[in-house]
Structure 1
């Protein structure tokens, strides 16, 4: 960026600590090293306090003391070994050992994403636990894992969206070194790493930012209180705090892509939106290092401005999650039309999402009582990420039910196929590939009793009109967390192993068939029979065509394929090898199944 000091503690070529903390209102500042030495900091420009010293070394604990008040951890700490209330620990990221010099981040077109939560993915609940399962992911055909947030949060049980140290890697997962080792191991397996980051709020416990400076503004209200200060007085340094965090993940941790949580909750009316400024800085980093990085957003405003390139006056984000495909698919499969599903009618809107990405793209939304969205006709397929389930839509059900608990075995296979044949980037949620039956529940491990009770009440209120039957599991209970762990021991059992085999076949087919692998939204056609609940999806390249016939009804339906080509079945989800009932009679497609046809006359 510029010559301002980097927030936190960094080590120079003389192995001295370069210390900087932003505290514009402080009259004096000091750093406390190992609870003993107190070293005064010097006031610098733009509200920073700085010091270069050899008295703070990697492994040392430290805190900042402002105006002789209670010492506090560093807001840009790289390590919190004693949790969110403890001292920070200095780390030299140059000490990480890398073996990935030959690694090249794949283009987004080649991403097949696997979202996972570190604490529940393995019995260990650590980065090392993920590393031990990379062979499974490689054999499945995954090309990128997406790790739910790892910024330090209270205790050891949390989804990660309560993080309060944006730069520090969760100590119970393995800390900064553990994350670096995981990334290196993934690259050795040919797997990219996406890290989920939260730039729209900080968690409530251990949030000391207000003690340092105006990180928040009262100009806007968010679900978490005052908004982060991206456009009010002193916002330059708040913006810089997050921009430097993005660059750190890419530069120091070799992360391949970031998934930015709920960017619609970022309040910024600056002439240059914070996302655009992030993109410009990432572009500059890539030009400097020669490494490719992607910026992916979670976003529900259906506005292509966010993913349009900067050259078209957009914010330049590379891709976005698209919940509307998920909602339309789930309602088509039989999901109750309540909560955020109430605005979706099923198969016609699923076809619209295949064609247009956004369902609501400038049309009236009954749920919102207004016209909503804009068309994304010029945005390629690799800018949209689709899924049949993810952490939000599983975990934000009161009982955390996965698809395996809500839909038949055959419908689960159909939904998997519907995602894999789309002209978009597919994403799986951990365990989906074998129809995991354990739920993914909402869990926390706060240490403040009043906060714990507030979380409990909040969860109960959330389900007042959505999944309202029964009682929500206690988010604070250890059992809630343990119940959410994957059951790796069931993979070889009947049903689970056939589902896993089907997922492997679908992913392999997507990679092998050019008409599926090429994410061209223009070469696509859908034909819907709403009465029969069937959808025919056609995709093609210059050398190949495919037809995907999806039957979401409970009855066999006739097959009506284009007659100008000779068609061969590439995959039928009803086959007995996938634990299905077997193909229907000639000219028919089984209920709740998908048949993928490829042409043979090229």
Structure 2
């Protein structure tokens, strides 16, 4: 039996809710008519009702102990917001056109992360659809939606969601999300959905009224942890496991990105993440469609992505924060907060080779050793980026990399990511050099909560010794500043950046060496004083050399290749990319000295 409201034939609807803390539970229908229907107690704290004359679109609350009305914890739609009634959704009514869609292989993912509200001026799922061909033509194979579970108000990053099954009403609700996913599949694009299983938001979180969804045995940055391993945790797990399958089944989502799994406190012999991986695989096999799980984790723990037979949790991939941090610090020179652990070329070389820079190595920021080696894991199990919502938006002013380090540095970062053997992630707008910031924004209603969020944002930057006041997260102007300006794509400088990304993605796709998701056939060296990085990638027929200069002045080195000749495939300093101009030859024959432009990257391939 499915939690929430399940539509059946003849206008009937079955309701199931877990409320072990309640003495009695009734269904309070509020539209299209007002009535109270008692529910029957079931084993293990469940309450069930088979209701007649309860059509799709009807709105309801659960009345707890005859005293208070609460939205359904498994509501599929909250048209009046987090405090309003839940609405019945019949998922069988939507006419899908993606019957032939079988998902996207992990190794083929090129992910484009976006915020629905800021991606277009309208800020809806439907408004996104006309932009999909542009992303496909660029070389994107998957869009990643920041969380769309119902949150308070109309402006939020999505990590304050409080109804995990409901689709945000201001984005277009359930039907809007289905139209978007169907359109993505028509374009050959997979859809990644960001889901949050480590906490719920602070406003409109009514799970406390129903049962022990949370535990005070562990703490997270957001308060009490979700109860994944204590008394009654089987039913809490069921809630979140059904949630994951809900997105796969009812919305045809291809990949779930699991937010901050390091904050899922679970000491069970079989963890929630293992159960989730097992059920996802079963769903994929049963539906003949590839469904994947990608974790965000700051633990540098390869068990997250090792298969169960090797003692792992069995998730398909995870983000590599080390790659971002190593690249960011080389480009910007920043050394505050956790960036203090990075800054050497060798850190980036190690992430190219092994996925993590910190593999049981002492971290000055953490004041302890951190991580474990992931050298046994294939490259396709790591997602890397130069920017994402966290690394941009959690800066005090939400500055993008191009605003921090400039045009040439942004091209260098793009090439470093897209020419890696890993799964690349782009953050919306970076492909054309968007300068608009992406600050943190919310639209809470509770005055005390708004004040606490403002205080928290200021305190958050104490580690970084940031001066000044962060933008007011509650202000509509802060949200408006985050919107993409699509008109910039037609300006010469931005058009050149877009063309550069397109060429990088073409090389990644078409070049036999760069198309391999393999870091076993990869070697790297770092020249620390010069801030130069060399990467050699190869297959049985050819080798590719990638030389990157992270210095703000020209760099010189002898060409390290050993075969008879090499031809230049790409140089970020070329004028066609609005660069300062390249001093490198089109063809190298024998040993020679190369002069690399500041903050540039060049690619040579063996010509014989």
Following TM superposition, by how much is the alpha carbon of 1:14 offset from its aligned partner in structure 2, in angstroms? 4.9
SS of corresponding position for 1:284: helix
SS of corresponding position for 1:114: strand
SS of corresponding position for 1:186: helix
- The runs of 5 or more residues in structure 1 that have no matched partner are none
Assess, with a 3 A threshold, how the Cα gap between structure 1 residues 282 and 58 changes in structure 2: closer, same or farther.
Answer: same
The equivalent of 2:30 in structure 1 is 34
Is 1:592 aligned to residue 588 of structure 2? Answer: no
Runs (4 or more) in structure 1 with deviation over 6 Å come to: none
In the alignment, the residues of structure 1 paired with residue 239 and residue 152 of structure 2 have an alpha-carbon distance, to the nearest angstrom, of: 21
Following TM superposition, by how much is the alpha carbon of 1:68 offset from its aligned partner in structure 2, in angstroms? 0.4
In the alignment, the residues of structure 1 paired with residue 92 and residue 604 of structure 2 have an alpha-carbon distance, to the nearest angstrom, of: 51
SS of corresponding position for 1:246: helix
- The runs of 5 or more residues in structure 2 that have no matched partner are 586-593
1:407-462 Cα offsets, whole Å, 9 max, x none, are 12111111110001111111100000111011000000001111000000000111
Following TM superposition, by how much is the alpha carbon of 1:565 offset from its aligned partner in structure 2, in angstroms? 4.3
The equivalent of 2:19 in structure 1 is 23
Task: Say if 1:559 and 1:589, in contact at 8 Å, map to a contact too.
Answer: no
Task: Say if 1:329 and 1:346, in contact at 8 Å, map to a contact too.
Answer: no
In the alignment, the residues of structure 2 paired with residue 17 and residue 446 of structure 1 have an alpha-carbon distance, to the nearest angstrom, of: 33
The equivalent of 2:8 in structure 1 is 12
SS of corresponding position for 2:504: helix
1:295-337 Cα offsets, whole Å, 9 max, x none, are 0000010111111011212100100011110000011112310
Following TM superposition, by how much is the alpha carbon of 1:38 offset from its aligned partner in structure 2, in angstroms? 0.8
Number of residue-to-residue matches in the alignment: 597
Task: Say if 1:556 and 1:584, in contact at 8 Å, map to a contact too.
Answer: no
What does 1:8-87 correspond to in 2, within 5 Å?
8-34=4-30, 36-87=34-85
Is 1:286 aligned to residue 288 of structure 2? Answer: no
Following TM superposition, by how much is the alpha carbon of 1:153 offset from its aligned partner in structure 2, in angstroms? 0.2
Please give the root-mean-square deviation of Cα atoms over the aligned residues, in Å.
1.1
Higher mean C-alpha deviation, range 423-432 or range 582-591: 582-591
Following TM superposition, by how much is the alpha carbon of 1:598 offset from its aligned partner in structure 2, in angstroms? 1.6
Following TM superposition, by how much is the alpha carbon of 1:564 offset from its aligned partner in structure 2, in angstroms? 1.8
Assess, with a 3 A threshold, how the Cα gap between structure 1 residues 515 and 479 changes in structure 2: closer, same or farther.
Answer: same
Query: Which residue of 178, 199, 204 maps to 2:176?
Result: 178
The equivalent of 1:147 in structure 2 is 145
The equivalent of 2:233 in structure 1 is 235
Q: What TM-score, normalized by structure 1, do the two folds share?
A: 0.98
Following TM superposition, by how much is the alpha carbon of 1:559 offset from its aligned partner in structure 2, in angstroms? 4.4
In the alignment, the residues of structure 2 paired with residue 106 and residue 277 of structure 1 have an alpha-carbon distance, to the nearest angstrom, of: 22
What does 1:79-98 correspond to in 2, within 5 Å?
79-98=77-96
Q: What TM-score, normalized by structure 2, do the two folds share?
A: 0.97
The equivalent of 2:570 in structure 1 is 571
Query: Which residue of 253, 256, 269 maps to 1:255?
Result: 253
Following TM superposition, by how much is the alpha carbon of 1:561 offset from its aligned partner in structure 2, in angstroms? 2.7
Higher mean C-alpha deviation, range 206-215 or range 536-545: 536-545
Task: Say if 1:557 and 1:591, in contact at 8 Å, map to a contact too.
Answer: no
Following TM superposition, by how much is the alpha carbon of 1:467 offset from its aligned partner in structure 2, in angstroms? 5.3
In the alignment, the residues of structure 2 paired with residue 236 and residue 15 of structure 1 have an alpha-carbon distance, to the nearest angstrom, of: 32
In the alignment, the residues of structure 1 paired with residue 606 and residue 37 of structure 2 have an alpha-carbon distance, to the nearest angstrom, of: 73
Is 1:520 aligned to residue 536 of structure 2? Answer: no
SS of corresponding position for 2:513: helix
Task: Say if 1:443 and 1:475, in contact at 8 Å, map to a contact too.
Answer: yes
SS of corresponding position for 2:545: strand
Following TM superposition, by how much is the alpha carbon of 1:548 offset from its aligned partner in structure 2, in angstroms? 0.6
The equivalent of 2:450 in structure 1 is 452
SS of corresponding position for 1:485: coil
Following TM superposition, by how much is the alpha carbon of 1:12 offset from its aligned partner in structure 2, in angstroms? 2.9
In the alignment, the residues of structure 2 paired with residue 67 and residue 370 of structure 1 have an alpha-carbon distance, to the nearest angstrom, of: 50
Task: Say if 1:216 and 1:228, in contact at 8 Å, map to a contact too.
Answer: yes
Query: Which residue of 432, 435, 450 maps to 2:433?
Result: 435
Following TM superposition, by how much is the alpha carbon of 1:345 offset from its aligned partner in structure 2, in angstroms? 2.4
SS of corresponding position for 2:313: coil
Following TM superposition, by how much is the alpha carbon of 1:585 offset from its aligned partner in structure 2, in angstroms? 4.8
Following TM superposition, by how much is the alpha carbon of 1:494 offset from its aligned partner in structure 2, in angstroms? 2.1
1:377-426 Cα offsets, whole Å, 9 max, x none, are 11100100000010001000001000111012111111110001111111
Higher mean C-alpha deviation, range 115-124 or range 281-290: 281-290
Query: Which residue of 188, 191, 206 maps to 1:190?
Result: 188
In the alignment, the residues of structure 2 paired with residue 283 and residue 420 of structure 1 have an alpha-carbon distance, to the nearest angstrom, of: 29
Task: Say if 2:337 and 2:365, in contact at 8 Å, map to a contact too.
Answer: no
1:489-524 Cα offsets, whole Å, 9 max, x none, are 111112111111100110111000121111111100
Following TM superposition, by how much is the alpha carbon of 1:287 offset from its aligned partner in structure 2, in angstroms? 1.9
Is 1:364 aligned to residue 362 of structure 2? Answer: yes
The equivalent of 1:378 in structure 2 is 376
The equivalent of 2:337 in structure 1 is 339
Following TM superposition, by how much is the alpha carbon of 1:557 offset from its aligned partner in structure 2, in angstroms? 1.7
Assess, with a 3 A threshold, how the Cα gap between structure 1 residues 224 and 585 changes in structure 2: closer, same or farther.
Answer: closer
In the alignment, the residues of structure 2 paired with residue 222 and residue 451 of structure 1 have an alpha-carbon distance, to the nearest angstrom, of: 18
In the alignment, the residues of structure 1 paired with residue 308 and residue 8 of structure 2 have an alpha-carbon distance, to the nearest angstrom, of: 34
